[in-house]
Structure 1
Amino acid sequence: MGGILPLVSLGALFLASTTASAPTDSATASATKLCVQLQIPVPVVATNYHYDQPQVDSSIDAMDWTVNVTTWSSSNFTARITGRVDINKTFEIGAQLCVPSQKTSKAGILQITTPGLGFGREYFDVEVDPRQYSYVDAAINKGYSILSYDRLGTGRSEKPDAYDDVQIPVEIEILAGLTKIARSGNLLSSSKAPSATNNASAEFDFLPTKIVHIGHSFGSYINSLMLTNHPDLIDGAIFTGLYPNNIEATDPLNVLNYNHAFAKESDPVRFAEYGSGYFVLDNEETLQKLFFQKATLDPALLTYAESIKQPEAVGEYSSEDGNPLAPAPDYKGPLMFFVGEFDNFVCNGNCSGIYSEAFARQLYPGVAIDDLTYYLQPNTGHASMLSTNASAGYEVMLEFLDFRGL
């Protein structure tokens, strides 16, 4: 879940040299990372829809919306469509680009991370004991460069209309747009900030040799759908918190299982920028229920999750019915599904023995047999990067990439 942490103002370019954990292989020449804050305009052309649903302008409204869309007599969201919304806009996306402080053999490989619902990019760059929990540090220590961004409506990204703008088709095209900008080598120059005044700007002004996508939960879902429409944009992917399985999991739209509050009412200072249609998970107890497993729960990480949580837009939920997972037959790169053993959201609390290779191959028939795989992180819930065994999971993920030349 996203973050309200001290960052530079919007549009400013900020360079930091940050100590990472000790290098874990010979590819890394230094134990530091250089990071720059970016504000990237991303043009989007997409087709959204307007849905008949209650307005959310208070926490009472948030509960009313929840009951309205989940009761037995309610119509699904595709039946609630009242009109088409053609999107042709440019959205500002907040991002952070980090590179190894010295050249490595993998520095040209750029990883792009996409967080799930309720999180921003801080999910991948945990500030509680980063040597143990920061995926960004783990990737840097292996020599990679990494771009972390806030999805639309979260963190330092633009917060547009939560009903008609912040929907899945737009988020797919934002991810595709960011990837195209990165692949063209224009991340730094496209940012709404000075690009040549910094002594180390050349470190960030590079043309990636390969691009890998790392997603979590809803972010993995967006990634998967992006590969249906844009199969040639990336060279490999790891989808955490997403798992093809052979059980009928709990309907992810059944938000009666959640406790949402109107964002601005929940915290008028922290969420002052958020208007109608944005709600937030209300407290640590809800976060624990949805994201954690007691065996690998550090209370400090639960408190951290509460401190960085981000609002969710109504449109993200209403657009799910019309955008189900779909095959990406033309994607041919390697792909790993990575999930916590006791993921409550994906597998009703037990993911052991339910992976469906047939379903996975239906989604990705063009991926080589040995390049389509899965991994169960032991004793872990939905937020695997906020578990006490996170670093062991990172080793699995990064070894999967390394073995395949990524």
Structure 2
Amino acid sequence: MLLRSLAAIMLAVLPPGAAAGAPQLTCSDVSTPISVAGVPDGVIYGRYCRTAAGTGKPLQILVPGVTYTHAYFDLPGFDGRYSYVKFMNDRGYDTLAIDRLGIGRSTRPALGVAVNAYSNADALHQVVGAVRGGSLGRDYNRIVLTGHSYGTFVSDLTSATYHDVDGVIGTGWFQQPSALGVAGLVSTLWPAAVDPRFLGRIVDPTYVTTRPGTRGFFYQSSNADPAVIAADDALKDTASLSETTYLVEVNTGLSTRIGVPTLRIVGANDRVICNPLACTQAGLERAAPALFPAGAEVYVQPGAGHDVALELNNQLGFQRSLAWLEERF
């Protein structure tokens, strides 16, 4: 089946291993033209998977964090065990897993200063607008942004600024990272220009990536498969220092302006968010009403680190997301 889109190529059927009785799926690579400050002629890449017959369920646009691509939501191999995309597709939800501005197969400006919170939110807003305009060849009356880490922050900012989505699922993020969490993250980074993975491809020193062997920071080691961490390390991407420039300024009061229901999923031992103290269900539930007046539900994934979708008990978070979607939509 051909997809009517702004650019749709490389049609592929769902690989072997899909759950018995799962809806028949078609997946394709799509590119959405965008124009933001400093990037007048860019594109946002997405991997679009849709059921053969529309289910009426909301489309989920999946938004990864810094140094991650869309592969965070669809880790190759492992029989699909670590694929949020597969989990949701098998249950009738169409997904569009994107690479944010500056990462993966989306436009990476020569200068990282063009990649910041505002340009990310603007680009995501344009993707949402294109989808609502029929770019994927299917009408979606409801769109939910599902973010991870900084991708949740961008989703929050997009929702609060443009009010163009119907819900936000945020993982690896509550309201903002702790000071120790930011320090820990920064300690893993170095210039992408000197990293073997990007050598010769990136020159601007304001693009950074994680140093080889430091990816474990994002996991609770007792709840993770070392092979998954290694695969994650091999797929790592970049971040721009500018992405954190406006973090405090933009985030002040941001969650109170989201305006749509949200679900927050945080690992109990998330070193970025829950540092130095572990996050607890009771603690986040107490904090949520003031931070999210439009309504928020919270789930603390027991024993998990920052990368909740890539840990051994990821199905707990997947199931909670599914339940929230079914209840709300």
* TM-score normalised over the length of structure 2: 0.89
Picking from 234, 239, 242, the partner of 1:307 is 234
**Cα deviation, residue 224, structure 1:** 1.1
Q: Does 1:210 align with 2:142?
A: yes
Q: Does 1:142 align with 2:91?
A: yes
User: Any unmatched runs of 5+ in structure 2?
Assistant: 1-6
Residues 236 and 140 of structure 1, relative CA distance in 2, 3 Å threshold: same
Task: Give the distance between the partners of 2:193 and 2:282, measured in 1 at CA.
Answer: 40
- Contact kept, 8 Å, 1:335 with 1:373, in 2: the verdict is yes
Q: Does 1:381 align with 2:305?
A: yes
Quote the RMSD (CA, aligned, Å).
2.5
1:49 aligns with none
- Contact kept, 8 Å, 1:213 with 1:236, in 2: the verdict is yes
Q: Does 1:97 align with 2:48?
A: yes
Residues 168 and 251 of structure 1, relative CA distance in 2, 3 Å threshold: farther
- Contact kept, 8 Å, 1:227 with 1:328, in 2: the verdict is no
Compare 391-400 and 337-346 and name the one that shifted more: 391-400
Residues 392 and 241 of structure 1, relative CA distance in 2, 3 Å threshold: same
1:293 aligns with 220
**Cα deviation, residue 185, structure 1:** 1.0
Task: Give the distance between the partners of 1:225 and 1:252, measured in 2 at CA.
Answer: 21
- Contact kept, 8 Å, 1:341 with 1:352, in 2: the verdict is yes
**Cα deviation, residue 294, structure 1:** 1.8
Cα distance per residue 1:91-149 (max 9 Å; x no partner)? 2212111112x32524x521001101110110000113243110000110011110011
Residues 29 and 226 of structure 1, relative CA distance in 2, 3 Å threshold: closer
Task: Give the distance between the partners of 1:256 and 1:390, measured in 2 at CA.
Answer: 22
Structure with larger Rg: 1
- Contact kept, 8 Å, 2:62 with 2:97, in 1: the verdict is yes
1:346 aligns with 273
Picking from 204, 219, 228, the partner of 2:151 is 219
2:32 aligns with 40
- Contact kept, 8 Å, 1:244 with 1:359, in 2: the verdict is no
Compare 315-324 and 338-347 and name the one that shifted more: 315-324
Cα distance per residue 1:223-270 (max 9 Å; x no partner)? 111222112x1112210011249xx932554368523232132116x4
- Contact kept, 8 Å, 1:96 with 1:149, in 2: the verdict is yes
Cα distance per residue 1:268-313 (max 9 Å; x no partner)? 6x454322121211122x211x211122110110111111110111
2:173 aligns with 242
- Contact kept, 8 Å, 1:237 with 1:336, in 2: the verdict is yes
Task: Give the distance between the partners of 2:79 and 2:158, measured in 1 at CA.
Answer: 30
Task: Give the distance between the partners of 1:159 and 1:88, measured in 2 at CA.
Answer: 9
- Contact kept, 8 Å, 2:156 with 2:258, in 1: the verdict is no
Cα distance per residue 1:330-374 (max 9 Å; x no partner)? 64432110011110110115112563446433333233xxxx210
Secondary structure (helix, strand or coil) at the match of 2:123 reads helix
* TM-score normalised over the length of structure 1: 0.73
1:398 aligns with 322
Q: What is the correspondence of 1:161-200 to structure 2 with a 5 Å cutoff? A: 161-187=110-136
Residues 351 and 162 of structure 1, relative CA distance in 2, 3 Å threshold: farther
Residues 176 and 12 of structure 1, relative CA distance in 2, 3 Å threshold: closer
User: Any unmatched runs of 5+ in structure 1?
Assistant: 1-10, 46-86, 188-204
Task: Give the distance between the partners of 1:314 and 1:20, measured in 2 at CA.
Answer: 40
**Cα deviation, residue 158, structure 1:** 1.1
Of structures 1 and 2, the one scoring higher in RCO (CA 8 A, sep 6+) is 1
Q: What is the correspondence of 1:228-377 to structure 2 with a 5 Å cutoff? A: 228-231=160-163, 233-244=164-175, 249-254=178-183, 257-267=186-196, 270-276=198-204, 277-284=206-213, 286-288=214-216, 290-327=217-254, 331-348=258-275, 350-352=278-280, 355-357=283-285, 359-367=287-295, 372-377=296-301
Question: Identity across aligned pairs (percent)?
Answer: 26
Cα distance per residue 1:52-108 (max 9 Å; x no partner)? xxxxxxxxxxxxxxxxxxxxxxxxxxxxxxxxxxx57232212111112x32524x5
1:29 aligns with 23
Cα distance per residue 1:16-48 (max 9 Å; x no partner)? 112365448x7x433xx3211122211225xxx
Number of corresponding residues: 321
Task: Give the distance between the partners of 1:271 and 1:122, measured in 2 at CA.
Answer: 21
Q: What is the correspondence of 1:44-83 to structure 2 with a 5 Å cutoff? A: 44=36
Task: Give the distance between the partners of 1:144 and 1:344, measured in 2 at CA.
Answer: 31
- One-letter code of the match for 2:66? L
- One-letter code of the match for 2:30? L
Residues 224 and 358 of structure 1, relative CA distance in 2, 3 Å threshold: farther
